[in-house]
């Protein structure tokens, strides 16, 4: 492989990695993984004990039997008879999702939306001022033109 081809391949790869959306995506994945640990800790450390005050400490243990009688093998946790519906797992996953969505919305999306709205308002105000300046300049130029026309007209008549 020639030296120029190696350089161009490396340059292309570097350009790919340095694109904003690739970097943003990588950062989002890393932060999302770290954030998942926080959410799981909140669910296991706070939500599950609060629910446990009314029942079991682990939401995963909540279940119903669709076809009675349900018997579970204590060693494996598998149903040996009946059909178990593990609705506690669904409830736990739903709470995790809602907590994650709320934190992302209130700590990331809402502040960014407010920032972008303020920035857009400032930009619109700046454009409005620029338009006013342009109109003012136009008015001044019209006045100068009218004055020059009046002076020419006055000098021709004299």
Q: Give the pLDDT confidence of 15-39 residue by residue, as tens digits.
A: 777 776 777 788 888 888 888 888 7
Average pLDDT of the residues in 102-122: 86
- Please say if the pLDDT value at position 157 is more than 70: no
Q: What is the mean pLDDT of the chain?
A: 78
Q: What is the DSSP string of the chain?
A: --HHHHHHHHHHHHHHHHSHHHHHHHHHHHHHHHHHHHHHHHIIIIIHHHHHTTS-S-GGG--EEEEEEEEE-TTT--EEEEEEE-HHHHHHHHHHHHHHHHHHIIIIIHHHHHHHHHHHHHHHHHHHHHHHHHHHHHHHHHHHHHHHHHHHHHHHH-
Q: Give the pLDDT confidence of 87-110 residue by residue, as tens digits.
A: 888 887 888 788 778 877 887 788
Q: Give the pLDDT confidence of 59-69 residue by residue, as tens digits.
A: 777 878 887 78
Give the rounded percent of residues in the chain with a pLDDT score beyond 90.
1
Q: Give the pLDDT confidence of 41-51 residue by residue, as tens digits.
A: 877 788 777 77
Nearest to 39 by CA among 87, 104, 83: 104
pLDDT of residue 154: 62
């Amino acid at each position: 492989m020639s030296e120029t081809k190696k350089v161009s391949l490396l340059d292309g790869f570097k350009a790919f990695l340095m694109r904003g959306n690739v970097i943003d995506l990588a950062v989002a994945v890393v932060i999302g993984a770290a954030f998942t640990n926080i959410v799981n800790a909140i669910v296991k450390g706070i939500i599950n004990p609060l629910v446990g005050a009314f029942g079991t400490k682990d939401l995963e243990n909540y279940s119903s039997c669709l076809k009675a009688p349900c018997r579970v093998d204590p060693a494996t946790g598998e149903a040996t008879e009946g059909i178990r519906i593990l609705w506690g797992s669904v409830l736990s996953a739903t709470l995790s999702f809602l907590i994650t969505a709320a934190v992302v919305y209130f700590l990331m999306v809402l502040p960014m939306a407010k920032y972008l709205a303020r920035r857009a308002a400032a930009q619109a105000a700046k454009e409005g001022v620029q338009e006013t300046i342009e109109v003012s300049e136009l008015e001044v130029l019209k006045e100068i033109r009218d004055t020059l026309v009046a002076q020419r007209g006055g000098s021709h008549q004299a």
